[in-house]
Chains A and B, each alone.
Chain A
Amino acid sequence: MRLLKLVPEDTNIGFVSMRYWAFGITGLLTLLAVATVWFQDLNYGVDFAGGLMIEAQFPQPPQIQQVRDNVDRLGFGESHPSPFGDGRVVSIRLPVPASADPGAAAAEASRVQASLRAEFPGINFTRSDNVSGKVSDELIRKGIIAVLLAVFGIAVFSWLRYEWQFGVSTFVAVMHDVLMTLGFFAITRMEFDLTIVAAILTIIGYSINDKIVVDDRIRENMRKYRKMDMGPLIDLSVNEVLPRTVMTSITVLLALGALLLFGGHVLRGFSAAMMLGIVIGTYSSIYVSASMLITLGLKAEPPKAKGGPGRRSGPQNESYDGAQV
């Protein structure tokens, strides 16, 4: 039986030589992502914006305008109804009630439900969330802290485990992943809620996993080919792990694709964020973190390495001839 090989053996792609182009494009895209988040803001779900979310299942797909008119008539604010899936499920969002009365949100929810029930008989309310402004602020703060802590913790780990250059390049690459994902949510206007924070944490985990694999190989080759230049050495390492990178990414994308198609609308945002994050994370392992190691001046021979013949020789004195030992 012939086995499937997605990447031909012994690729020799010059990733490092493209790094200035890659840095430029990556930088521009990241700026664009940050600018979009800054100027357009994210479409926060009730978890982060506070307010009411009611999800209703109609017997037939309703006219969205009709639903909007029905709810907006009650005067609680703009309802932003948006349909899901086959159009029968509609989610309705309302802002946090202006009243300080704690029961106000619940009262609003039941009035909206009564009003919709009157106009659309057979309607079924499948879900309702109401989150006060206080809780949503806390959730935002906790979410940001969790993400930052995760990134920092991991960067510190790579720094302690390897050289500081690995820590810095991992940190920059992962921040890039997070910003790009946020930018994606700002541009697509997909709802940004707590599950997306879980997705971002997963993307961070996955992306770092990928970087560890590449970094680990670079370290291994640094010990093996002591006299090789960093550029060719990084190219060699990335090429060596390329089959694994592609294989794993595709497998995970397959699994996420199943989640996206069959997981129902509740998991849709999560799966979409994850799929994008996998692509971004894989890209940034090669073009951001690995390429950056050269810019950061990683030496072919780490000062901490145990002694051996010729260990003081500089990184530039012998060129890589492409031979494999």
Chain B
Amino acid sequence: MLNFPRWKVIGIWAILAFGILLSVPSLLPPSVSEYLPGWAQRVHVNLGLDLAGGSHLLYEADTADVARARATLIEDTVRRALRTNTPPIDIGEVSTSGGQLSFVVRDPTQVDAALQVVRDATRPSGFGGVREWDVSNQGNRVTLRPTQAGLDNAINQAMTGAHDVIDRRINALGTREPTIQREGTNRILVEVPGLQNPDQLKALIGRTAHLEFRLVDLSVTPQQIQSGRAPIGSQILPYAEGGPGARIAVQRRAIITGDMISDARQTFDQQDGRPVVAISFDGNGTRRFARVTQENTGKPFAIILDNVVLSAPRIDEPILGGSAQIRGSFTVDTANSLAISLKSGSLPVALRIIEERSVGPDLGADSIRNGIIASVVATAAVLIFMFLSYGRFGLYADLAVAINLFIIVGVMALMNSTLTLPGIAGFVLTMGTAVDANVLINERIREERRKGRSVIMAVENGYKEASRTIFEANVIHVIAGSIMLLMGSGPIKGFAVVLLIGIVTSVFTAVVFTRMLVSQWIRRNRPTEIHI
């Protein structure tokens, strides 16, 4: 146990030196570390939001919303397929509740043909595509139920889309180093360091920004609007400019949708100087808008954002230039964030905040300062105590514990881990286990000495017996740490990461490194008595 060949000694020192070196960029103050080469700057420990300050927003998508949108989409597909069939198949009593589509084929002799058409229309695309709808009929009522695979697929696509949209919106805001990641099936976590007041961010991300231009349906009577029952082909929506509770009837068909917008920016109205959003259409949008405004000059059209009619201006003349203005009760800020939302595309699914945490930079700085003071005091207390208890062996243990702390930082930096407040607590526990390992060894050596063993035998046995216990105890910590890492959420994970790294490094420094120091000392001095 006490024999260390030269290559081993060099190897151990090299590992320790490498670990300590890795920790350097993270420990230097930012004013110094910016002069380091780029690769060295990248090897650093990130500070969690609780230390650096910032906002943490957890969004959840309404999966029922995705199912509903899909049902509406498939309704269009099915209607078109049945209408263009020869002979056309007439259907009625269409309902899209609960994410499934069901309708009645009016001519009972056409049910089989209708089923065939619907099956063709919903056939999975491409080789190995997943069947997305189960088509069944009961008499002449045909029902399309979404398959779980199809729904999962759609949710996944919607979430991927939502992730991209959020990414574009946050980047447009120019925020530094945001983290945007998907969690589970239908959640997105957004973390923005350094941002104390997330209101603007929330307004930006939370808006679906589903923009549509549609013609106002003038044929609908006020009574119908009052009752809320719209005739086929039109829809009754809230009307923002008409005062509280006002509603307006619009056509179902959209002239322009959000994906036809090529640019959007905040500007001021030339007449009254109020903030507005100016938008430009792409080629397709320009053509369509020109055609519709030519055909409907003198009639009003509605600008609809997220199912609310913002305004319903009259078309005074055909608009051929491919641009328009969105008016509403905007401030410069809200107009600006709407412009960003429109330009980045609409969210494919509505998101809502289910968890929000923000930490001010003052508290973060306080936490860092407190954490550092506490760690320094804790470390100093432990080191002094160890030295008083074990003398020279205590000093070796102290060296091991101190190096251990640096190496943990180094490994975390290499993995680009995030240090959180619970992570600092993890440091304290790791130091505890590192100390425990050293205590186990030294107490064992004391014991062996009391039993009358020679110095070399006592040290040898001490390390051998204690190593077994240390190994077993640390397997336990690995089990606990892994469970925390797998099962735990945010803060628990931060704790587990430090714990797991610390277990490995502390066993190495406590068992291997101190043994090397002790054996070298014994070989040089051949002591016949040790103070321990």
Binding site for B on A (CB under 8 A): 1, 3-6, 9-10, 55, 57, 102-103, 105-106, 110, 124-132, 134-135, 139, 142-143, 145-146, 149-150, 153-154, 157, 161, 194-195, 197-199, 201-202, 204-206, 208-209, 212-213, 216-217, 220, 240-241, 243-244, 247-248, 250-252, 254-259, 261-264, 266-267, 270-271, 274, 324
Contact = CB atoms under 8 A, between A and B. Distances in A.
B358 interface: yes
B369 to A, nearest CB: 8
A241 B444 CA distance: 9
A6 to B, nearest CB: 8
A251 B472 CA distance: 21
B373 interface: yes
Contacts of B429: 202, 205-206, 252, 274
A247 B439 contact: yes
B202 interface: yes
Contact of B378 (A102, A134, A194, A255): A255
Contact of B391 (A1, A103, A134): A1
A269 B234 CA distance: 59
B389 A5 contact: yes
Contact of B428 (A130, A157, A255, A261): A255
Contact of A135 (B58, B439, B446): B58
B469 A216 contact: yes
A188 B124 CA distance: 61
Contacts of B495: 198, 201-202
A132 B356 CA distance: 9
A153 to B, nearest CB: 5
Given A146-B492, A247-B389, A205 B362 contact: no
A157 B483 contact: no
Given A135-B58, A248-B435, A157 B476 contact: yes
Interface in B441-487: 443-444, 446-447, 450-451, 465, 468-469, 472-473, 475-477, 479-481, 483-484, 487
B424 interface: yes
B450 A244 contact: no
Contacts of B366: 264
B443 A146 contact: no
A127 B479 contact: no
Given A105-B356, A150-B484, A252-B436, 18 more contacts: A102-B353, A125-B360, A142-B487, A146-B483, A154-B479, A195-B421, A198-B495, A209-B476, A213-B469, A217-B469, A244-B444, A247-B439, A251-B385, A251-B435, A252-B435, A256-B428, A270-B422, A271-B425
A23 B477 CA distance: 27
**DSSP majority for the B interface?**
helix
Given A128-B357, A195-B421, A216 B391 contact: no
Interface in B469-513: 469, 472-473, 475-477, 479-481, 483-484, 487-492, 495, 499
B433 interface: yes
A234 B468 CA distance: 19
A1 B357 CA distance: 53
B386 interface: yes
15 contacts: A106-B199, A106-B356, A131-B354, A131-B355, A142-B489, A153-B480, A153-B483, A194-B492, A198-B491, A201-B492, A202-B425, A205-B480, A257-B378, A258-B381, A263-B371
B479 A157 contact: yes
B332 interface: no
A161 B373 CA distance: 41
Name which of A9, A110, A204, A267 has the most chain B CB atoms within 10 A of its CB. Answer: A267
Contacts of A10: 450
A3 B382 CA distance: 15
A134 B472 contact: no
Given A201-B492, A213-B473, A255 B431 contact: yes
Interface string B354-380: 111111101100110011011101110
Interface string B330-369: 0000000000000000000000111111111011001100
B388 interface: yes
B532 interface: yes
Contacts of A153: 479-480, 483
A216 B436 contact: no
Contacts of A57: 362-363
B477 A258 contact: no
B205 to A, nearest CB: 12
B440 interface: yes
B473 to A, nearest CB: 4
B420 to A, nearest CB: 10
B268 interface: no
A106 B202 contact: yes
A258 B439 contact: no
A241 B468 CA distance: 14
B374 A243 contact: no
A212 B472 contact: yes
B442 to A, nearest CB: 8
